[in-house]
């Protein structure tokens, strides 16, 4: 069976601007899994699902651009560069050229091939402006699907001092997409464990 096509009017945005303190401050997108950078694994999963690919990053910008993506850089001084996922999400929404944005973190390997379509269906059925991945543990807010018309509102929320997408979501109608806990490589131990399973 062929992989599902892209959902209608969907950009994809990858969050790659975190401080990555548990990896010694390395740019997590370029940490390798089985000899390939994490960003390449994530791109492989999202490219078939979207018409536009964006990466929110604050370092190694030319290296990301060499992957054939549009880079949305985090402005400001070094102290302001790691402003949290809402900052990256707001900038991705502002740069998207489609009606919806599929957002995932750069270490989100092994994404479902139809994730964008699952989100689009849930948003349509619920008449929601945001769909977000959820499981028994709760929401996974960096795995989301957001109407890009909300870009200015996301930026206002950030400017008002909020840093967590979850709190911004509370302002809007949200559809939960139930699924397995996503593989999110937050520690070197998690990375090594996944390498053993692949």
Q: Residues annotated as binding site for Mg(2+)?
A: 107
pLDDT value at 116 more than 80: yes
Sorted by sequence, the CB contacts under 8 Å of residue 35 that are 6+ apart come out as none
2 within some domain: no
4 within some domain: no
Q: Residues annotated as binding site?
A: 15-17, 28, 74, 107
Q: Residues annotated as binding site for GTP?
A: 15-17, 28, 74, 107
Query: How far apart (Å, rounded) are the C-alpha atoms in residues 55 and 88?
Result: 9
pLDDT of residue 178: 94
Q: What string of DSSP letters covers 102-150?
A: EEEETT--S--TTHHHHHHHHHHHHT-SEEEEEETTEEEEEEEEEEGGG
What is the domain extent for residue 117?
Answer: 10-197
168 within some domain: yes
Structural domains of the chain, count: 1
H or E element at residue 155: helix 151-159
Sorted by sequence, the CB contacts under 8 Å of residue 8 that are 6+ apart come out as 99, 100, 120
Q: What is the pLDDT of residues 21-38, one digit of tens each?
A: 666 678 999 999 999 999
What's the whole-model pTM score?
0.89
pLDDT value at 137 more than 80: yes
Q: Any idea what the CATH number is for the domain that residue 54 is in?
A: 3.90.550.10
Q: What is the pLDDT of residues 94-107, one digit of tens each?
A: 999 999 999 999 99
21 within some domain: yes
68 within some domain: yes
């Amino acid at each position: 069976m062929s992989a599902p096509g892209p959902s209608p009017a969907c950009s994809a945005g990858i969050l790659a601007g975190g401080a990555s303190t548990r990896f010694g401050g390395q740019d997590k997108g370029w940490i390798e899994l089985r000899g390939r950078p994490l960003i390449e694994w994530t791109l492989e999963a999202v490219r078939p699902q979207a018409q536009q690919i964006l990466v929110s990053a604050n370092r190694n910008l030319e290296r990301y651009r060499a992957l054939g993506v549009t880079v949305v850089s985090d402005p400001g001084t070094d102290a302001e560069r790691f402003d949290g996922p809402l900052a990256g999400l707001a900038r991705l929404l502002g740069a998207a050229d489609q009606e919806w944005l599929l957002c995932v973190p750069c270490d989100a390997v092994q994404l479902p091939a139809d994730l964008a379509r699952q989100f689009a269906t849930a948003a349509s059925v619920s008449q929601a402006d945001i769909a977000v991945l959820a499981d028994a543990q709760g929401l996974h807010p960096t795995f989301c699907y957001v109407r890009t018309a909300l870009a200015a509102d996301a930026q206002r929320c950030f400017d008002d001092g909020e840093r967590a997408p979850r709190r911004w979501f509370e302002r809007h109608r949200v559809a939960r997409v139930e699924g397995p806990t996503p593989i999110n490589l937050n520690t070197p131990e998690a990375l090594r464990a996944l390498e053993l399973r692949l």
